[in-house]
Chain A
Amino acid sequence: MGTAVLLLLPLFVLVVCLIAYPFYRAVWLSFTDKLVGYPERWVGLRNYLYLIHDDTFRTVVRNSFVFTVASVALKVGTGLLMALVLHATWRWRNFFRGLLLLPWITSTVIIALTWRWMFDAFPGRGFFNSVLLDASLISRPIAFMATPEGAMAAVVVANWWRGFPFFGVSYLAGMQSIPGELYEAASVDGAGSWRRFWHITLPGLKHVMLVTILLTFIFTINDFNIIYVMTRGGPGSATQVFATYSYEVAFNQLRWGRGVTISIFVVPLLIALIPLVSRYLLRERSA
C-alpha cells in the first residue's frame, strides 16, 4: 500500500494541480463575467443563457457536428476500404501499412498547412488549381476555400486525411483476428464475397469500429488545430467550432468567462461518451 502511494504520487500531483484544479477553475470562471484586466464578478448562469440565445454560438454547434460527423463517416468508409485492400495484399503488407500510416504521425499543423496549399486559390501554391489549369479543365483559378461550403469541405478533407490511416490499420488488425474457418464455412455454404463481408467481416469488426468511432468523435468535436490553421473559423463563422470559438472569445475578445463557458458546453457530451469508451477499452484489457 505504501509503495503504491509513493509510486503514484507524481501522477496524483500532476492530476490534481494541472488537470483537476484548472478544471475546477474553468467551471468557476464560467459563472463569472471575467474580462482580462478586471476582477471577476459572479453572474450565475448569464454566460450560459447568453450563448444559448446567441446566433453565432448556434452556428458553432452546428459546424462542430457537421465537421465531426462528416469526418468520422468518411474515416470509417475509407478505413474499411483501406483495411480490405491491405488484407488482400499478399506481399510487403507491413511496408504498405507503414506507408499509409504516414499522415497519422505527421504534425496536425503541418497537415493543415499542407491542405491549405493544396486548396489554395493561387495556381503556383494550390495543387488543385495548378493541375486543373495545366490540364485546361478550368480557365481561371477557383477560390475553393472562399465559400462557406468550400471551407467546410476543405477542413473535413484535411481531418479525414489525417485520421483515416488509423482507422484502416485498426480495422486491418480486427480483420486479421477473425478466424479463417468462419469464411471457409460460409464459402462451403455458398455465401458470396459480399455476403461474407456483410455477415462475417462487419460483425467481427463491431467492437473496434465502436471504439474508433467514439474515440475519434470525442477528439474531433474538440478539434482546434486543423480549423485554426486552415481557416481561423472563417469565412465569417462558417467553420467556427467549439474550440476555435472559445479561443476567439477568450483571447481576441478577452471575455474569459464566456470563452470558458463555450468549452464547458461540450462537457455533458463527454460525460455521456467517455464512460462508454472506457468500458469498451477496459473490458478488452481484462479479457
Chain B
Amino acid sequence: MTGWKAAAIVGLAAFGLVVLVPFWWIASMSFKTYEQIQFAQSIYVPKPFTWENYTGLWLETRFPLWLRNSAITAVVVTALTTVISCLSGYAVARLRFPGRESVASLILILYLVPPALLFIPLYRVLAELGATNSLMALFLSYPTFTVPFCTWLLIGFFKALPIELEEAAMVDGATRVQALRRVLLPLAAPGIVASAIFAFTLSWNEFLYALIFIQDETMTTVPVGLNLLIYGDVFHWGQLMAASVITTVPVVALYMFIHRWMVEGLAAGSVKG
C-alpha cells in the first residue's frame, strides 16, 4: 500500500500547486510596489512588502463605491431569493396539488437556461421599466438565476426532512403555519443558510448583467469595476491585484465557515453521486 500512499501524496501536492499558484501570484503582486512589477524584480515574494496598493485602491479609485454596490445588491437579492425560494420550495415539497411535478421540472429547466440567452431582451424590458443604470436592474434580474437554483436546492432539503414531525405537530393541534415555524424551519435552517450563501455568492460574482444593465461607473459592481480598472489609462497593476484579493476574501471566508454544509448541500440538492 505504500506505493498508493506515495502516489496520493504526489497527487495532492500537484493539485495543491495547480490550485494555489495562481492565487499566490495575484496575492503576492498585490503587495509589490509599482517598480517591482514594472521591472520584474523579486518575482517570487514581494520584497519589500508594501500596503500601498491597498491604500491607493481605497483612496484613489471608485472601488469602495463598487464594493458598496456589490454588497447592497448581494444582500437584497439574497433576501428576495430566500423568501421566494422558501415559499415555492415548501409548496412543491409538501403540498399536494395538480401539476406539482411539472412545477418541479419547470424550476429545473429554468435553472439550466443560460443568462446569455436573455441579456438583450431583458435589457429592453428593464429599460421600459426605467430600471436600467441603477441597482434596481440587478435586484430584478439576478433572481432570474438565483431563484430557480435555490428553489431546486430547497425542494431537495425540504423533501429530505421527515414529514411525520410536522404531521405529529398538526395532530397535536398546531396549525400549518405553526408546524412550519416551530418544526420545519428550525430543521431546514442549515439548508436555507446554504441556499442563501449560494444566492449571495452568485450575486457577488455576477458580471454579464451588471456590465450591460449599468453604464454609470459609480453605480456598478466590483466585477465590472475591475474591468474598468484595466481598460482605464492608469496602469496600477498592484491596485487591480489588491482589488481581486479584497473581492475574493469575503466569499472564501463565508465558504470556509460552511464548506461542509455546502458540499453536502450540493450533494443532496443537485448532483448526487
**Chain A interfacial positions (CB closer than 8 Å to B):** 1, 3-5, 7-8, 10-11, 14-15, 17-19, 21-23, 25-26, 29, 81-82, 84-85, 88-90, 94, 96-103, 105-111, 113-115, 117-118, 123-125, 127, 130-131, 133-134, 161, 165, 169-171, 173-177, 205, 207-208, 211-212, 215, 218-219, 222-225, 228-229, 242-243, 246-247, 250-251, 256, 259-260, 263-264, 266-267, 270, 274, 277-278, 281-282, 284-285
Contacts and interface: CB of A to CB of B under 8 A. Distances in A.
Contact of A259 (B21, B120, B141, B244): B120
B147 A124 contact: no
Contacts of B204: 107
Given A8-B91, A8-B103, A117-B26, A82 B8 contact: no
B88 A8 contact: yes
The 9 closest A-B pairs by CB, nearest first: A85-B11, A222-B114, A173-B273, A174-B273, A243-B116, A107-B205, A25-B121, A124-B40, A7-B91
B251 to A, nearest CB: 6
B151 to A, nearest CB: 7
B95 interface: yes
Nearest to B254: A105
Interface stretch (B50-58, B105-113, B163-171): B105-113
B124 interface: yes
B273 A103 contact: no
B26 A25 contact: no
16 contacts: A22-B121, A26-B117, A82-B15, A107-B204, A109-B226, A110-B248, A115-B22, A124-B37, A124-B41, A161-B19, A250-B120, A270-B112, A270-B113, A278-B105, A282-B104, A285-B104
A130 B40 contact: yes
B232 to A, nearest CB: 14
Interface of B: 4-5, 7-8, 11-12, 15-16, 18-23, 25-26, 29, 36-41, 43, 83-84, 87-88, 90-92, 95, 97-98, 100, 103-110, 112-122, 124-125, 140-141, 143-144, 147, 151, 155-156, 159, 176, 201, 204-205, 207-208, 211-212, 223, 226-227, 230, 237, 240-241, 244, 247-248, 251-252, 255-256, 259-260, 263, 266-267, 270-273
Contacts of A85: 7-8, 11-12, 15
B241 to A, nearest CB: 8
Chain A CB within 10 A, most for which of B39, B88, B156:
B88
A3 B103 CA distance: 15
A21 B129 CA distance: 13
Given A105-B255, A109-B207, A124-B40, A26 B121 contact: yes
A274 B109 contact: yes
A256 B84 contact: no
A10 B12 CA distance: 46
Contacts of B109: 274, 278
B207 A108 contact: yes
A261 to B, nearest CB: 10
Given A208-B273, A247-B212, 16 more contacts: A7-B91, A10-B83, A18-B140, A23-B117, A89-B8, A97-B263, A100-B16, A105-B201, A106-B251, A109-B226, A110-B26, A173-B267, A250-B120, A270-B112, A270-B113, A282-B105
A105 B121 contact: no
A173 B264 CA distance: 10
A91 B207 CA distance: 38
A26 B140 CA distance: 18
Given A107-B204, A133-B40, A281 B147 contact: no
A11 B87 contact: yes
B121 A18 contact: no
Contacts of B4: 88
A170 B251 contact: no
B88 A10 contact: yes
A149 to B, nearest CB: 21
